[in-house]
Amino acid sequence: MKKKILLLKIENESVYNPLGLLYIGSYLKDNGYDVKLEIISSKLFEDRSFADEKAKEILKEDYLFIGFSVLTGPQTKFSAILSRKIKELNEGMLIIWGGCHPSLIQEGTLRESYVDIIAIGEGEKTALELADALSQGKPLELIDGIGYKKDGKLIFNKERDFIKDLDEIRVDWSLVDMQKCLIEFPGRNTKGFIYITSRGCPHDCSFCYNKVFNKRRWRAHSIKRVISDIQRIKETCRIEAIAFTDDHFFVDRNRSFEILSRLKEIGITCAEFQLRVDEITEDSMKKINELGVRKVYAGVESGNDRVLSLMNKNTNKKMILEKFKILSKYRNIAVGSSFILGYPTETLAEIKDTINLGLELARIIPDIVVTHQTFLPFPGTDGYKLAIKEGFKLPQKTEDYEIYDAFGRSIPITWLPWADKNTSELFYRIDKYGKLLTHSKSTSLLRTFGKKFFYNLAKFRLKNRFFAFPFEIFILLRFNRYYNPDCKIK
C-alpha cells in the first residue's frame, strides 16, 4: 500500500453524502493509495479552539498530502482556517484545494500561503497523477488541470480533458460510514440516500457555475451502473428512496424514465430530482406520476421577462404559468420552485414581479415550496461579467468568500446601484416568507390551521412589501425542523 492521503470536506450539515470526494478517494484507493476521507461539520468551528485541536489531530498521521474539497461560501472560510492551522504546525505538509471554489477562483486561491496546489475541474485523474508525481519526485509541469507555485510565481498547467466514460470510476462505499449518510425526507418519514447519475448540464443559464466548471458538457453513468449502485445501497442500508442531485437529471428523457422505471421494479422510490420549466409537459408529468416520483424541483428564477432573457432561461412568465398549471394536476407530486433576487441591472419593480409570480404559483399549487436566493457572481459566468460592469469586485481574501451564501443575510450587493446595506436582509426575509406560502391540508387540524395562518400573513407581507417585525421568521427557524431548528434570529 502506498502512502496515506487525507481528503477533507467541510459541510454546513453534519450528515452528508460526500459523493465528489468518494469518487476521488475511490480512484486513489483503486490505484494503491491508503485513503482516509473525512467530513467535518461547520458547526464545530463555533468553538474557537476546534481548528487548533483538529489540526493537531490530523498531523498525528504522516500524509502524502491533505486534499480539501471546497465550495464557495461559508465552507470556504472554515477550509481556510483549518488549512492555515495545519501549515502553522507543519509548514512542509502539502495542502491541495480542489472543487468548485479553486476551479472558479484560481489565482485568488493559489495566492494564499496555506495552499500549495489547486486541482482545477474534474479531480479523479488529477489527484492520481499528483499522488504519483509527489511519491516519485516527478515534476508537476506534466500534470494537466493543476495550478502550483514555483520560484514565487503562480503556474497554471493546461486544462484536463473530461472523463469520457464515467463508469470507469467506481465508488468504494467503505470509505464512508453509509449509515451516517442516510437522510429522512421531509413529510414522508422515509429513509433515503443522495445519488448522482451524471455530471454537467448542456444549457446556458448565465448565473450557473456549470457553464465554467463543466463547460456545458453533460456525461452520464450507464443505467446498469446506476441501478447496480442503488441496489447495493438498498441491500446495505435498507433504504426506501433515492434523491437525485444531478445538475440536470432530465437531459436524456428516455434514460431518465428507464432509471425511474427500474427503480420502481426494485422497490425504491425516487424522492426528488430537478427539471427545467420548459421540460414540463402533460406527457412527461403523466409518466413521472405513474413512476411514483414524490417531488420535482423547477428553477423559475424570475417573474420578469427581461430578466429571464438576461439569464438565458428560454422561458417567459406566460410559459411558466402554463407549465405550473400542468404540475398542479398531479397532487401526489410535491413541487419546489426557486427564484433568484438581485440579478445585475434588475430593478426593484422587476423584483416585485418575481415576488408576485411566487404568490401566483402558490395559489395554483397550495403545497409548493417557494425559495428566493440571492444572486451570486461566480467568475466566468455571464452574470459575473455583468456584475463586474455594474461595479462588483471579488473579495480580496479567501476567508471573505464566507459572504457567498445565497440564503444568507450579509451579502454586499454592490452590483445594484439602488441597493444599500439593508438589501441583503430584505432578500433574506423575502425568501423566508416565500417558504411560508405552503398552505395545503396537513396531517392534523392544528398543523393545517398553522400553515393557513402563516400563509395568509406571508401573502399579506409579500403583497404589501411589509417586512418589519419579522416574528414569523423567528418561529419558522425556531420550531420548523425543515428550516434549521437550531438557528435563531440575532
Burial of 287 (0-12, 13-18, 19+ CB in 10 A): middle
The answer to whether residues 114 and 86 touch, using CB atoms and an 8 Å cutoff, is yes
Domain boundaries, the chain: 2-156, 276-483
Q: Is the pLDDT at 443 greater than 90, yes or no?
A: no
In tens, the pLDDT along 245-292 reads 999 999 999 999 999 999 999 999 999 999 999 999 999 999 999 999
In tens, the pLDDT along 324-349 reads 999 999 999 999 999 999 999 999 99
- For 277, half-sphere exposure in the C-beta direction (CA atoms, 13 angstrom radius) is 25
Looking at the structure, give the CATH architecture of the domain made up of residues 2-156. Answer: 3-Layer(aba) Sandwich (3.40)
In tens, the pLDDT along 210-235 reads 888 888 899 999 999 999 999 999 99
Provide the terminal-to-terminal Cα distance of the chain, rounded to the nearest Å.
51
Mean pLDDT of 462-490: 68
Banded model confidence at residue 32, pLDDT cuts 50, 70, 90: very high
Burial of 8 (0-12, 13-18, 19+ CB in 10 A): buried
pTM for this structure? 0.91
CATH 3.40.50.1100 fits 276-483, yes or no: no
Q: Is the pLDDT at 11 greater than 90, yes or no?
A: no
The DSSP bridge partners found for residue 297 are 274, 336
Q: Is the pLDDT at 483 greater than 50, yes or no?
A: yes
Burial of 459 (0-12, 13-18, 19+ CB in 10 A): middle
What percentage of the chain exceeds 70 in pLDDT? Answer: 95
d(CA 290, CA 41): 38
